[in-house]
Amino acid sequence: MTSNAITIIKPHSERSALEDLRAIWTSRELLLVLARREIAIRYRQAVIGFLWVVLQPLITTAIFTIVFMVFVRIPSDGQPYPLFAFSGLVVWQFFSRIVVDGTGSLVANTALITKVSFPRQVIPLVPPLAAALDCMIAILALIVIALAFRAHVQWTIVFIPVILLAITFFGYAIVLWLAPLNAIYRDIGITVPFIMQVGMYLTPVVYPASLVPEQIRWLYQLNPAAVMVDSMRWAVLGSAPPSLAGVALFVGLSIALFWGGGRFFRNVEGTLVDRI
């Protein structure tokens, strides 16, 4: 008599964070293939290709320069305002892409997730890798612009890869929460871009912290987004570094979000295919 038994394979929700990292490392070739595909799709049939990476923050910087320097005349912490704004926008653009694209990554790769067995945590890591290339191109443009303004580029630029890695880890930790939530509730994917847009104006990306009321300035120093922006300005332009308290909170929050996000992702992973 022929048996019609069906074996159902479910993800093991009791995996540790270390096991997740090991699984991602084992699937690194797939990760790189997906990242290359993401980059190729993004610039397919684009006439000027990677130049968009530089043009977007440059045009935005020009708009803010006209508004804040010509009309409002705000200070820029001793740096030429275009450099000040461009350095902040490069970081925010990178972080925003990680969060927004990462949030929609599971839904965007539904066909792959439902047909191929691999660690699902790989999918939200694809947008950070794809965005990292764009960010490095924009940072090179920032350095060239700084030299054009005769700004003294600091030796601290050697810390740029560390800063980008920290931003990537922080963004990925956030996406571990948002990506599965968006797969279940599509409202998340609609809300996140709006939140990121509001967040840019609430974070001194294009205006200095000196404009923040002194009574709440300490909140700015603890703001993880401000820590990222200040770190990049410190590395490239030699401005004041972020506060130690802000850096400590940033590191602690990154680890907590990653640990909790990993557990949450594992708990809902088994039902993602049915709910996407």
Of 119, 114, 105, the residue nearest 22 (C-alpha): 119
Residue 191 burial (CB count, 10 A):
14
- Contact present, 125 and 31 (Cβ < 8 Å): yes
Interval 216-253: pLDDT, tens:
888 888 899 999 999 999 999 888 889 999 999 999 99
The radius of gyration of the chain's CA atoms, rounded to the nearest angstrom, is 21
Evaluate if residue 210 carries a pLDDT over 90. no
Of 62, 130, 105, the residue nearest 113 (C-alpha): 105
pLDDT band with cut points at 50, 70 and 90 for residue 60: confident
Whole-angstrom Cα distance, residue 79 to residue 137? 22
Domain-wise residue ranges, the chain? 17-275
Residue 258 burial (CB count, 10 A):
20
Whole-angstrom Cα distance, residue 228 to residue 241? 10
Q: What is the pTM of this model?
A: 0.86
The pLDDT value given to residue 204: 84
Residue with tokens 């300035």: 217
pLDDT band with cut points at 50, 70 and 90 for residue 48: low
pLDDT band with cut points at 50, 70 and 90 for residue 202: confident
Which token pair is 184? 């279940």
> What percent of the chain has pLDDT above 70?
89
